[in-house]
Chains A and B, each alone.
Chain A
Amino acid sequence: MATLATPVRKRGHEDRPAEGQAPAVRAFHATPFTYGTLMIVAAVLTTPLVFVGSIALSSDATVNNGAFTIIPREFNWDNFSRVFSTELPVGTFLLNSVLISLFSVAGQVLSSGLVGYAFARLRAPGKNTMFLIVIATMMIPTQITMIPQFILFRDLGWVNTFLPLIVPNFFSNAFNVFLVRQFVSRLPSELDEAAMMDGLGFFGIYRRIMFPMLRPVLIAIGIFTLTHTWGDFMGPLIYLNDESKMPLALGVQYITATSQAGQAPPWNLVMVGSILLALPMIIVYYLGQKYLYEMDISGGSAGVK
């Protein structure tokens, strides 16, 4: 991870001249060819998105003929309300996604903050060894533990509940612990020392002084956890069988998989579902951008400074 640090750290003192100043260096000179290429690339990358919108707005007849056009020709906005009617349980899917994600985010934020703080500030025998283990666990692919975890949760009777997807998040995650630890290491220790002089216990220091200061890193962790849980497909696929329990990521696929043989899935509604799946992530990213940006810097360079 230190490899990431060198270039990113410098972002603070970028020495690019102000926009509009005549470029003196050929490497930065934008030619008509540059613009042409960028426009073509942007058009190619955006086409699938426009196409999705077009499908989402098409009528059932168009779906059955499969006669979609890239630029929308029909505008059946009612498709967006139809997915919430009884026809398809997209409303339920959405609610399930929200529930699973909220609890997972809460779990990661609460546990990773506490653990990361302890690794950064408290002293105890064996701490460094334990932190090495934290780092090492980042390398283990999830597939290794997938089967035994399934057996464990099945024996607990948790299959077809949200618990297997939520509960592990309350036990922190190596990457998040690492982020918090790096973040705390860079905070001045005078504040918590002063608080200790005032007789505040370690938990008091964490709750009253550290927790508010950890806001940026905890928001970043929240966004990471949210995007991960919201988009997770394999976890719900393993644990959830009932249609009424599925989150949107699995539900969208479920709609296409359960359409009658020989009949096209309701592509317009599936695409509405996909839009509902994607839109919150785009919004969250743009709202939280600055925190993620901050994390790039501190997460990457704290080890170097």
Chain B
Amino acid sequence: MATTTTPTPETPSAVARKPASPGKQRLSRRRRREALSFYLFISPWMIGFLVFLLGPMIASIYYSLTDWDSFNPPKWVGFDNYVKLLTDDPVFWKALWNTFYYAAISVPLGLVLGLWLANLLNKQVRARKLFRTLIYLPTLIPLVATAMIFRMVLAPNGPINDFLGLFGLSGPNWLLDGPWVKPALILMSAWGAGAATVLLLAAMKGIPRELYEAAEVDGASATRQFWSITLPHLTPIIFFNLIMGLINAFQIFSQLYILIPKGKNPAGYDAAQTMVPLLFDQAFSYYRMGYASAISWLLFLVILVFTVIAFRTTRRWVFYETEVK
């Protein structure tokens, strides 16, 4: 958000740089032409904003206050949809809980793994590029393909259960047994930890080496150097990843839809139900457009609250080098 305010002062300076026009009349005509061009140029965004965003948002608020199957005229119900969701719909609360559960574990886990791997790669290892490529490769694979892969990996006689079998453990039926569905989704998200690794590794390379050399002179151990130098410098990027990760995790859909097909596996589907699949079902399976719209606004609210909390706490743990200077 800070970026929105920082670049704007450029505009007046650009104005100042322009050669002054002799006549006021001419200037204003040129200015008018420039403004007209501006509105013309941004018209794709403007139209898109009105037709695909603002209009739909207003419509969505209205829908959420109605009972509507999208075919017959909508029936005004006031806040009934919200009241019902919050007080009289156990499935909604379950979906909300599952979404929190998934986000609260998968996002920090992905960051910790990503940080750990980045720190290993930041050492002077041979074949660093090869390791980095192998760690990053899973994140390039489209979600649908990843979900297909994990349907096989997590199958009752798949590699993971084979591996557990080596230790005499009989692995669960990950995608069918209610309690194991969420760990399965988290496991799958951990496969993509390489995305954070690459960003963090790039950031690590920017940390001034003198800091480490000074710490070395003071006799600090490698662990100590990590906690006192590396980690504080990475907090801005960790913070950025945390926010983006949470927003993404709250919107989990495709993985669930593919890993646990509703028709074939209702028990597993119910056990892992999250916000967006619930919304999708209400809207496109049962055509409860009003109810589904209300869910979408509650989802927005949840995401907003988490983002605000994250921003509020930044001062306590995010270290901005620029503030010190």
Interface, chain A (partner B; CB < 8 A) = 1-4, 6-11, 14-17, 19, 23-30, 34-35, 37-38, 41-42, 45-49, 51-52, 55, 66, 68, 70, 111, 114-115, 117-119, 121-125, 127-128, 130-135, 137, 139-152, 154, 168, 170-172, 177, 181-182, 185, 189, 193, 201-203, 206, 227, 230-231, 233-234, 237-238, 249-250, 252-253, 256-257, 267, 270-271, 273-275, 277-278, 281-282, 285, 296, 302-304
Q: Contact between B34 and A122 (Cβ–Cβ < 8 Å)? A: yes
> How distant is A43 from chain B, measured CB to nearest CB, in Å?
9
> How distant is A184 from chain B, measured CB to nearest CB, in Å?
11
Enumerate chain B residues within 8 angstroms of A270, measured Cβ to Cβ.
148
Q: Given A124-B34, A130-B42, A28–B122 Cβ distance below 8 Å?
A: yes
- B105 contacts chain A at the CB level, 8 A cutoff: no
- B25 contacts chain A at the CB level, 8 A cutoff: no
Enumerate chain B residues within 8 angstroms of A25, measured Cβ to Cβ.
209, 212-213, 215-216, 225
A278–B199 Cα distance when bound, in Å, is 22
Q: Contact between A26 and B237 (Cβ–Cβ < 8 Å)? A: no
- B170 contacts chain A at the CB level, 8 A cutoff: no
Q: A26-B225, A171-B45, A271-B148 are in contact. List 16 more A-B contacts (CB 8 A).
A: A1-B240, A6-B321, A7-B234, A26-B220, A27-B229, A29-B123, A38-B120, A45-B137, A51-B159, A117-B41, A123-B35, A141-B251, A148-B60, A152-B55, A172-B48, A302-B7
Enumerate chain B residues within 8 angstroms of A154, measured Cβ to Cβ.
70
Q: Contact between B17 and A4 (Cβ–Cβ < 8 Å)? A: no
Interface, chain B (partner A; CB < 8 A) = 1-4, 6-8, 10-11, 14-15, 17-18, 31, 34-35, 37-39, 41-42, 44-49, 51-53, 55-57, 59-60, 63, 70, 117, 120-126, 131, 134-135, 137-138, 140-145, 148-153, 155, 157-159, 162, 191, 194, 199, 202-209, 212-213, 215-216, 220-222, 225-226, 229-230, 233-234, 236-237, 239-240, 247, 250-251, 253-254, 257-258, 261, 263, 276, 279-280, 283-284, 289, 292-293, 296-297, 299-300, 303-304, 307, 318, 320-322
Enumerate chain A residues within 8 angstroms of B263, measured Cβ to Cβ.
257
> How distant is A236 from chain B, measured CB to nearest CB, in Å?
10
Q: Contact between B8 and A143 (Cβ–Cβ < 8 Å)? A: no
> How distant is B240 from chain A, measured CB to nearest CB, in Å?
5
Enumerate chain A residues within 8 angstroms of B149, measured Cβ to Cβ.
48-49, 51-52, 271, 274
Enumerate chain A residues within 8 angstroms of B11, measured Cβ to Cβ.
123, 127-128
A233 is contacted by which of B4, B141, B144, B206 (Cβ under 8 Å)?
B144
24 of the cross-chain contacts (CB-CB < 8 Å) are A3-B318, A25-B225, A48-B153, A49-B137, A115-B44, A123-B14, A123-B31, A137-B53, A148-B59, A148-B60, A171-B48, A171-B51, A172-B48, A202-B34, A233-B143, A257-B263, A271-B149, A273-B148, A274-B144, A278-B140, A278-B142, A281-B141, A282-B141, A303-B6
